[in-house]
Amino acid sequence: MTRVVITGMGIISPVGNSCEEFFDNLAAGRSGIKKMSWDFADRLSVKISAEVDFDVEAYFSKKTARTLDRVSQFAMVAASQAWQDAAIQLPEKEQKRAGVYLGTGMGGARTLEESYVQLLKQNVKRLHPLTVVMVMNNAAASYISMTHRLKGPCLTYSTACSSSAVAIGEAFRQIKHGYADVMLAGGTESLLTFGIFMSWESIGTLALEAEDPSTSCRPFSKDRSGFVLGEGSAILVLESLDRAKKRGARIYGEVIGYGSTADADHITKPSVEGQADAMRAALEEARISPDDIDYINAHGTATVANDAVETKAIKEVFGQRACHIPVSSTKSMHGHLLGAAGAVELVAAVLALNKRIVPPTANLMVPDPECDLDYVPGKARTGLDLKVVMSNSFAFGGTNAVLIVRKHE
C-alpha cells in the first residue's frame, strides 16, 4: 500500500479566498454570514447567506469567464492555488498517473436556472450554445484536468453534502492502491440562486435570521434552527509519500483513513448507526483506536436532527473519551457549502493540525442536554498538541463520509 500525503491546498470561501485568510477568520471566530443583497430576497423568508467575495476579472479573461459557471470558476481558482502551494511539477510521462476527483451537489445549476428564466420568462429564441457544457456536473473537474494536464482518472462525485469528502476519500485510495501518484481532490458549489433558496426554504432546514445576521447559524446550541447556505470550493493536492519526499515537498499531513457508509434508511433523516459506522470504518482503515483522535471537525449543520444524532454517534464510537475530544462545527462561520463542505472542512481540520489551533463553534450560547460534548464554544483553543484529526461529512440521501489525517513527522 502506498502512503498518501497532502502537499497543497487551495480555497475560495465565504471567510476568505486563501488558506491563510480562511483559517485566520475561523480561529478568530469571524463569520462570513450576511444579509443577502439580491432583489429576490424580497420573496424569501430567510434572507441570509454565506456569499464568496470573488472578483472574476482578477482570475479570468472576459471570454473565459463567460464560458464557465461560477461553480467551475471557484474550482479552477482553488485548484490553481493548491497546485502552486504544492510547488509541483508534472513531467509529461507522469501525466497519466495524475488525476482529479471533485464533489459537487448540483454543478452548474445556476446556469440552468438562468437558462429557464430566459426561456420561460424572456421567451428567447435560442439558449447560449455553451449551456450544456456550463451546466454539466463534471465541467469543473474537466477544466482542471485540462489546465494541469491530468490525464489519469477524472471523476465527479455527487452525494449531496458529503460529495467532496467522498471525492477526497476515493482519490486517496487511487494513490493508496497504486492507480495514481498525484490527485487533485476536493469540491465546489455555487447555489446561491432564487430557485435553490426557495427549495431549501420549503424543506425547512435553513437557519432563522438572528438580530445580528452573522450569528444565525448555531450548531449544537439549544436555540439552533438550521444552516445558512454558502458557496465556494476547496481543493487539495494528494501525492504519494515517496514522490513528495523525493522532491522535498512540504507535507501538511498524511491521509490515513476514509470511511464511507449509507444509512439505507431515510432520504433526509440522519442515522446514528450510519454515521457511527462511517467513523469506525475510517478508524479501521487508519489502523488507529478512538483514543488517537485529537480533534473532530463535525458535520454540525445546526439542524435540530443532525447535531443530536451526530453527538450520539460520536459517543457511540468514542465512549468515555468522547467528552475529552474537542469537536467543532466551522459551518457556524462559513455556512454550509453543500457539495464543497467536506473539502472546506478538511482544509480547516488540516490547518488546525498544522497551526495547533482548534477553531471554535461560533454562536453556541445555549447548552442543549442532547448535545453534551466539548464543542469549543465561542473561542479557539491554541497551543494544542494535535496529532490526528477527523472530519465528518453526512448527507441527504444517507451517504456518510469520514476522513482522518495524521500529522507527518
Partner 1 sequence: MTTTLERIKKLFLENFDFPEERLRPEATIESIGLDSLDKIEFLFALEKEFDIKIPDREVKLDSIQDIIDVVERLVMEQHAEQRQSV
Is residue 80 within a helix (H) or strand (E), and if so which, with residue range? helix 70-86
CA distances from 43 to 1, 47, 115, 274, 362 (A): 54, 9, 20, 37, 28
Rounded to the nearest 10°, the torsion over CA 205, 209, 210, 213 is: 110
| Per CB under 8 A, 130 contacts partner 1 | yes
Closest CB to partner 1 among residues 145, 205: 145
Please indicate whether residue 148 is annotated as part of the active site. no
Q: Among 37, 58, 123, 125, which residue interacts with partner 1 (rule: CB under 8 A)?
A: 125
Q: How far is the CB of 61 from partner 1 (least distance, A)?
A: 5
Q: Among 2, 67, 95, 142, which residue interacts with partner 1 (rule: CB under 8 A)?
A: 67
| Per CB under 8 A, 117 contacts partner 1 | no
From the candidates 19, 154, 217, 299, give the one annotated as an active-site residue. 299
| Per CB under 8 A, 65 contacts partner 1 | no
DSSP 220-272: T-TT---B-BB-EEEEEEEEEHHHHHHTT----EEEEEEEEEE--S-SSS--H
Closest CB to partner 1 among residues 90, 127: 127
Q: Return the closest-CA partner of residue 297 out of 365, 366, 351.
A: 351
Is residue 289 within a helix (H) or strand (E), and if so which, with residue range? none
From the candidates 19, 148, 154, 161, give the one annotated as an active-site residue. 161
| Per CB under 8 A, 149 contacts partner 1 | no
* First CA to last CA distance, the chain: 19
The region of 120-128, 258-266, 313-321, 392-400 touching partner 1 under the rule CB under 8 A is 120-128
Task: Say how many residues touch partner 1, by CB under 8 A.
Answer: 10
Kindly give the interhelix angle for 194-203 and 109-120, rounded to the nearest 10 degrees.
110
Closest CB to partner 1 among residues 62, 93: 62
Closest CB to partner 1 among residues 65, 203: 65
| Per CB under 8 A, 61 contacts partner 1 | yes
- Give the Cα separation of 332 and 273 in Å (integer): 25
| Per CB under 8 A, 126 contacts partner 1 | yes
Place of cell 444552516: 227
Going by their DSSP bridges, the two strands 399-406 and 253-262 should be labelled as antiparallel
Q: Among 35, 43, 66, 149, which residue interacts with partner 1 (rule: CB under 8 A)?
A: 66
| Per CB under 8 A, 129 contacts partner 1 | yes
Residue 61 CA, distance from chain mean position: 27
Closest CB to partner 1 among residues 66, 247: 66
The region of 55-63, 95-103, 104-112, 241-249 touching partner 1 under the rule CB under 8 A is 55-63
Please indicate whether residue 299 is annotated as part of the active site. yes
Please indicate whether residue 161 is annotated as part of the active site. yes
| Per CB under 8 A, 121 contacts partner 1 | no
The number of residues in the chain equals 409
Interface positions with partner 1 (CB under 8 A)? 61-63, 66-67, 125-126, 128-130
Catalytic residues: 161, 299, 336
